[in-house]
């Protein structure tokens, strides 16, 4: 009885599509800052709650495969003043790995109950990071 032999081939070098560098005309590369992505997610989650697609944060956490703690952190960004949210959502894509405004810094500002205080802290944060 002769043993049959199977042949398996692997591709060791994957060719990646050419990506234009950021700043070149028509470039679509780059990523939105993390804080922008997370705020957009928080808004989407809030919308799901309002439409009844999810009952509460725990339900959203299960749907999103997130811990309840992380879900609460994400949803804290909803507390930001509307004009601050607009600015964050309007941040441009970036080619660098870090953006001057972090999600953590935005959540610290969102933890303040008054929108006027948030606006002052936001202005200071932008000034410190040369975004003003």
Residue 93 CA to residue 30 CA, distance in Å, equals 5
Measured in degrees and rounded to the nearest 5, phi and psi for residue 48 equal -65, -40
pTM for the complete prediction?
Answer: 0.76
The angle subtended at Cα 81 by Cα 119 and Cα 68, nearest 5°, is 120
Residue 27 CA to residue 124 CA, distance in Å, equals 32
Q: What is the pLDDT of residue 100?
A: 87
Question: In terms of Cα–Cα distance, which of 12, 33, 22 is closest to 99?
Answer: 33
Helix (H, G, I), strand (E, B) or coil at 31: strand
Convert the pLDDT of each residue in 110-128 to its tens digit. Answer: 999 999 999 999 999 999 9
């Amino acid at each position: 009885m002769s043993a049959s032999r199977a042949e398996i081939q692997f591709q060791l070098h994957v060719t990646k599509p050419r990506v234009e560098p950021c700043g070149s005309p028509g470039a679509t590369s780059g990523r939105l800052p993390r804080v922008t992505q997370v705020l957009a997610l928080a808004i989407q989650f809030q919308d799901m709650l309002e439409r009844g697609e999810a009952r509460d944060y725990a339900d959203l956490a299960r749907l999103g495969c997130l811990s309840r703690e992380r879900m609460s952190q994400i949803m804290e960004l909803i507390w930001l003043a509307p004009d601050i949210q607009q600015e964050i959502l309007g941040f441009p894509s970036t080619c660098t790995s870090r953006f001057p405004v972090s999600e953590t810094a935005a959540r610290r500002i969102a933890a303040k109950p008054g929108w006027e205080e948030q606006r002052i802290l936001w202005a200071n944060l932008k000034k410190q990071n040369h975004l003003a």
